[in-house]
Structure 1
Amino acid sequence: MIKKYFAFFYMMLFMSFFTHAQLSENFNDGDFTANPAWSGGTSDFVVNSSLQLQSNNTVANSNYFLSAPNSLATSAQWDMYIQLAFNPSSANYVDVYLTASDDDLALNTTTGYFVRIGDTNDEICLYRKDNDGITTKIIDGTGGILNKSNNLMKIKVIRDASNQWILSRDLTGTGNSYTTEGAATDATYTSSAFFGFYIKQSTASFFQKHFFDDIEIKNYEPDVTPPALQSATAISANVVDVLFNEAVEINSSQLVTNYFANNSLGGPSTAALDGVNPSLVHLTFANSFTNAVTYTLSVNGVTDLSGNAINNGTANFSFYTPQQYDVVIDEIMADPTPQTGLPNSEWVELRNTSDFAINLRGWKFADATRQSGIMPDFVLQPDSFVIVCTGSAVGGLAPFGTTFGVASFPSLDNDGDMISLYARDGKTIHAVQYTSAWYQDELKKDGGWTLEMIDTKNPCSGISNWKASMNATGGTPSSKNSVDGVNIDETGPKLLRAFAVNNTTITLVYDEPLDSLKASIVANYTIDDGITAISATGIPPVFDKVSVALNVPIVPNTIYTIAAANIADCKGNVIGSKNSARFGIAQETDSLDIVINEILYNPKPDGVDYVELYNRSQKIIDLSHLYIANRNGSNIISSIQRVAKEGNLLFPKDFIVLTSDAFSVKNQYITTNPDAFMPVSSMPPFPDDAGHVVILNNRGNIIDEVDYSDKWQFPLIANTEGVSLERINYDGPSVQSNFHSAATSFGYGTPGYKNSQYSLNEGAPGTITVTPDVFSPDNDGTDDFATINYSFPSPGYVANITIFDAKGREVRYLQKNSLSGITGYFRWDGLDDKNRKLSEGIYIIYTEIFNAGGKKKQFKNTIVLARKYQ
């Protein structure tokens, strides 16, 4: 029984000693007066709302301390988190007493070891203090590492059984990336009574800016585990970075015979331990790596700081030269205001669509006017994302995912811009030329929402592969796009136009980016008049244009045609029938070479204005040398807008429609020539009641001007909204008598093709003809309609058409006060006014026309309605 009692007594004594010998404190109880009990300047410290110990002394040029019991002094490990929210100096530093003989850390007679954080050299060092007050530096840390206004750190100190001290620090404050400051042996003091913090401060700039947390003092367990390979990463064509899971010893890590790579690569020519990260070794090989080949690196004999050696460690690496579209710009925040849920910052998201990790170090980002600084050393893994922005925006965007900033980040235009991504060698990896129409949402294009790519495997399809984000926050930074999906592209590129840069060079413009290799094959181009192409080059960064050099100069007043074959887009779709374009040398525009042919100044709801021009001359005219404008209240030409940003040719007898939204116009009007539209980013305003449309050449001379008025419209039109004014005669003056409302039968507008009111011979007699003579409305595809064709002597005629049966009874009122063009047609489907089928027989089509001048005319035509018998 006595033996059991003494056994229990010694067990409790051992447990009590073991408990008091160790210290663990994270201040989560909001207190430092118990468990453990800290002593010293207790009024000089508080536990703040973040549950950290924080200095609270507000006396200038003061010294103060706080200590807690600790008897662990040998075979020990000390860990703690510290933040100094200032740049330390010889008058502002912290001494962390690992061991102390007395709880009063300010006494000269207190002996022990301490870590000094900050002094004149902005370093972290280990000192010994003797009972005469003299301190001796036993580990001299790296100078300058604390030379900043805010310092986060984790400190780790180890003292092993042989009294070797190792001092390490992690300046990220996470404890995941320790760097060793040094090692030394000292056995002067082998006991301890206290642990604590001693603070020296000067002015108010340093008050209450010391923070401490996660303090742990424990028995040191020697490292008997060898280092392990975490990764091997090719950072260039012959350099591999080898990362271990802990700091490695300098001599063994730099021995080239400790490394070997397969696939005939062999050992490196040099091995160098990184100067900052002691876990990182740079290997340089004499021979370059083969692109996209995977190598296995074997490592033997490299030891950690405890002498443990790695045996048969392996890691795979490969070097890959990024190709076009391996990394794509797949989300754009061009207009963050008004905010929807994301930070008020512009940014782009990059996505790695390849099967290889790609280092973005040295890459650049640009828009149409500005190129960024280089990107940092960052490896973008396959099928992963990164947000790129200006440096000041990183803090706000980082919570959403991996983010880095670049200097001189371009300012992205809200209405449209061309943004490009370049590899370190200057190669274009991806480019996007977006417009606000890409949002495909009138509300979201006004700001606060991102543009998202739908299918990143189809990166060059333009507007068809982009739309506004559907995420409630306004975007999906650093994650899969909300509109992500399959968007198959099976349509080949179209050759939109060509223009001469000079007499031996032309530029071809396509509707989408091309395979730049196929676009550069000279044999893919044929030109008439005996001219041949001698070179072809895709124009970066978008590659939707090709520069073609000619073997002989082209001559003025001649229209040439170039045809392209075997040209493909970036998905491999080959060009189809839209593969040719005219070109020639443009000439200077004179008065009335081009005339204003049609004006829509009062558009339909959700519509936009448009102005149609007609080239009445024999010249080839470059639209980039023309400007559209209006006149202000002082009758001064204003709101001048360039018609085209680059060469765009208007050939003799051709039309061009200027508008800010071609898509809207095409949806609201009959469009027989969709290529005859020229988007103008901001059209001059044209009032609904009256205004001025002015066309200028590049010298500022007026080419044509129309001072229109809503009173020019046909008087019997009650509502002129959506009704265009059409020029009657190209050669007539730009005055009221030569303009008329577009015809009802043409949808009140003819953008891009001949006007419904066009007339060259106003004296021609009016006629009405009906075809066929016999029609059978049975939907068999043959003669299902009666077509009533008309031709009137001048514009402005209104038609009323009534159908009578053979007994003279009215059966259908086909048209009522329909404003007609010079020529056109109406159709009758064989039904009466109540949409009932009429019986077979003879019918009379009675047409009455009249105009505002009082002229009238009547026409009678007969037709036979036949039906099949079952």
Structure 2
Amino acid sequence: MKKIILLPLLPLYLSVTAQTGNDAFPFPATGDIVITEIMADPTPSRGLPEREYLEIFNRSSDTLGLKGIMLIADKDTAYLSDGLIAPGEWIILCSTGSRTYLLPFGRVMAVKSFPTLNDAGELISLRTPDGSLIHSVSYSPEFLGDGPRSGGGWSAELTDTDNPFHEPDAWSPSTDPSGGTPGRVNSTVTSVADTRCPSVIAAWPLSEEVVAVLFDETVIPAESGPWLADGVETMPALSGDPADRTLLVTLAGKMDPGIVLTLQFPPGLTDFAGNQPCTGDIRTGLPSDPAPGEIMFNELMPEPSPGCSEYLELFNNSDKIFDLSALLLAGSSRGAATAFTALHRQLLPGAFVALTTGREDFASIYPCGDDKSVFRADRLPALPDGGGTLLLYDRSLNVIDRVSYTPDMHMIFLSGTKGVALEKVSPGLPSDVASSWHSASGVCGFGTPGAPNSVLAGDTGETGGLSLSSGRISPDGDGFEDVISVGVFPGGEGNVITVTIFNDRGYPVRRLAERVTADAGARFVWDGVSDSGARLPAGLYMIVAESFNTAGLSRRWKKVCALLYR
């Protein structure tokens, strides 16, 4: 039997079915219903009741069913009651105890066990009873800015319902004098185009056969097609979290330990706005535990420019794969060692990762850096301007690397060290040797977070005797031949090495190494200054290396190097 509804009675019909339910109306697809307002901190009141609420809006052209839709906030899940939402309609969601207070502002749906909204930020999602994503918001105080509306009593509003997943750009604090606009059009409505590509934050194995890939925004996995793992098709990706930001990819076979796997994204994988991921693939593998020296400090920014953040950089000095969540950092040998992230971000062989707690756009500040290798950590030890110590531990508190730094490690002719990073002149050099470090080049904005350093000494190799990375040095801060690497490999074992630099009159001006125990050999770095830290004049300098070992063999070599200034 067909239902006949007179148009004048349609509002009454919708009201009744909102209470009784109607299976003839479909559940929303992704983006049909969106969260348009969040009141997480209603105190002090600006005119609205001091009650937390969410507002949802039907941006589709269909009347949609609500019964059983999951409202997920962090670890809490509640379910919407039986009802319908008409096209273009707003509904205020709140706790049962808040319903009476919010009824004057529009249609209200009281939700049993309505989750307490965390004003410090949390992930809020709507999903259908069968688990499909409707909408998700990673709410944070950033939505309210740091101005006069950041102190409570103001809601965050979605300003562009056509781009509901574009956060935080499409969100702003309410400008309504009452502090919010529950149940009606938001105080700010504007177009905020979403052209940002989804970026991979981390990829890691959940098992030998399943890989998790975490994006920085919601992506649409349905019907995107199979992924390719080293050219072999995988099973279709499944959602791994309430916001569809983590995708789970099941491989055709098991991963081999120590082997880096390349996962290629399907062409149909996009965000809600249709943007494809920033890169076409990611690499991952089964992680190992690091041994001392296999992960090394490679760059430090203890004194950033105003408006910028401190950072430190790690280098994988091995052919293994490491999990950053298994590492700990401490700001001194007596300081507490704490994990800096719970995410399973991996550090691949020969790769760099810059760690920071800042949110600024590093790519616009450091043109030679690699923004894909900049990782936002939950916490980091402070880097005092006047010098300090950092230690890297594994989960068993074995020391993996250690560095002590001071401003004296910078180039002497710099007018100041603010905004200038300290870089290793070769990533594999010992971190606890001051001569391994040098000021970053101004050509690269005085820092290269996540990328090879701007000042690198050439590799001398391990040929027998004394070798130089170059026959000249020009320490002028342009990143080219600012330092030279001095390699001394006498042969045999148990060698003790001394390296001295003489000027053209035969006077010693710099002792690079004195009785250094180096086993088969070692590399040292000269930056063109004397033992007193003074800038040496241009000219020819003699580098003399001497060694003796436990077998009683003594040897001596010398080479000439030109010191130039442009």
TM-score, length-scaled by structure 2:
0.74
Q: Which residue of 1 aligns with 2:128?
A: 423
Q: Where does residue 91 of structure 2 map in the other structure?
A: 386
Aligned-pair CA distance for 1:625:
1.9
1:678 aligns with 2:339: no
Do the aligned residues in 1 keep the contact of 2:340 with 2:380 (CA within 8 Å)? no
1:688: which partner in 2? 385
Per-residue deviation, 1:626: 2.1
> Percent of aligned positions with the same letter in both sequences?
27
How much does 1:495 deviate? Answer: 5.4
Match of 1:452 among 149, 157, 167: 157
Q: CA deviation at 1:636?
A: 2.9
The equivalent position to 1:603 in structure 2, one of 277, 281, 304, is 304
Q: How far is the alpha carbon of 1:346 from its aligned partner?
A: 3.6
Give the superposition deviation at 1:729. 3.0
CA–CA distance in structure 2, aligned partners of residues 451 and 566 of structure 1: 34
Q: Which stretch shifts more, 431-440 or 500-509?
A: 431-440
* Aligned residue type for 1:758: L
| 1:853 alignment counterpart | 534
Structure number with the higher strand fraction is 1
Cα shift at 1:440:
5.5
SS of the residue corresponding to residue 463 of structure 1 reads coil
Distance 2:242 2:483 in 1: 55
Q: Do the aligned residues in 2 keep the contact of 1:229 with 1:242 (CA within 8 Å)?
A: no
Are positions 1:333 and 2:14 aligned together? no
For residue 232 of structure 1, report the CA deviation from its aligned partner: 6.3
- 1:328 Cα shift? 0.8
3-state SS of the aligned residue for 2:222? helix
**Partner-residue secondary structure (3-state), 1:791:** coil
- Cα displacement string for residues 298-330 of structure 1 (whole angstroms, at most 9, x for unaligned residues): xxxxxxxxxxxxxxxxxxxxx233222221112
Query: 1:612, CA displacement in angstroms?
Result: 1.0
Amino acid at match of 1:430: H
Structure 1 residues 425, 657: CA separation in 2 closer, same or farther (over 3 Å shift)? same
The structure with higher relative contact order (CA 8 Å, sep 6+) is 2
- 1:502 is matched with 207
Whichever of the two has the greater Rg, that structure is 1
Alpha-carbon distance in 2 for matches of 1:791, 1:583: 35
SS in 1 for 2:257: coil
Tell me how far 1:515 sits from its aligned partner: 2.5
Distance across 2 between alignment mates of 1:685 and 1:396: 46
1:628 match: 329
Equivalent pair of 1:430/1:541 in contact (CA under 8 Å) = no
How far apart in 2 are the matches of 1:283 and 1:853? 84
How far the C-alpha of 1:234 sits from its partner, in A, is 7.4
Matched, 1:741 2:439: yes
TM-score scaled by length of structure 1: 0.50
Unpaired segments ≥5 residues, structure 2: 1-7, 461-467, 486-527, 540-563
Number of aligned residues: 480
Q: Partner amino acid for 1:703?
A: I
Structure 1 unmatched ranges of 5 or more: 1-227, 236-240, 244-279, 290-318, 769-787, 796-848, 862-870
Residues 358 and 730 of structure 1: is their aligned pair in 2 closer, same or farther, counting only changes over 3 Å? same
Within a 5 Å distance, the mapping from 1:712-791 to structure 2 comes to 712-735=409-432, 736-759=434-457, 760-761=459-460, 764-766=470-472, 790-791=480-481
The residue type paired with residue 384 of structure 2 is P
Give the SS at the match of 1:624: helix
Match of 1:614 in 2: 315
Could you tell me how far 1:400 is from its partner in structure 2?
A: 4.2
Looking at structure 2, the residues matched to 378 and 283 of structure 1 have their Cα atoms a distance apart, in angstroms, of: 5
**533, 538, 541: which is aligned to 2:242?**
541
Q: For the Cα contact (< 8 Å) 1:630–1:640, is it kept in 2?
A: no
What is the distance in 2 between the residues matched to 1:503 and 1:229?
A: 60
Q: Aligned partners of 1:638, 1:341: CA distance in 2, in Å?
A: 46
Deviation of 1:560 (Å) = 1.9
Give CA-to-partner distance per residue, 1:446-500, whole Å, 9 cap, x none.
6554332232122223334333444455443332223322233456645565322
- The answer (yes or no) to whether the contact 2:412–2:534 under 8 Å persists in 1 is no
CA 1:767–1:721 in 2, change beyond 3 Å: closer, same or farther? closer
Instruction: Classify 1:689/1:558 alpha carbon distance in 2 versus 1 (closer, same or farther; 3 Å).
Output: same
Whether the 8 Å CA contact 2:174–2:181 is kept in 1: the answer is: yes
What residue in structure 2 maps to residue 351 of structure 1?
57
- What CA deviation, in whole Å up to 9, does each residue of 1:175-233 have, x standing for no partner? xxxxxxxxxxxxxxxxxxxxxxxxxxxxxxxxxxxxxxxxxxxxxxxxxxxxx956564
Q: CA deviation at 1:577?
A: 7.0
Moved more, 661-670 or 595-604: 661-670
Q: Considering only aligned residues, what root-mean-square deviation do their CA atoms show, in Å?
A: 3.6
User: Structure 1 residues 283 and 469, CA, compared in 2 at 3 Å: closer, same or farther?
Assistant: closer
Distance 2:131 2:281 in 1: 32
Structure 1 residue 512: deviation in Å?
A: 3.2
Partner letter of residue 92 of structure 2?
I
Amino acid at match of 2:57: R
Match of 2:406 in 1: 709
Work out the CA distance in 2 between the residues paired with 1:709 and 1:405. 59
Aligned residue for 1:363?
A: 69
Name the structure 2 match of 1:526.
228
- 1:654 is displaced (CA, Å) by 0.9
Q: What secondary structure does 1:553 align onto?
A: coil
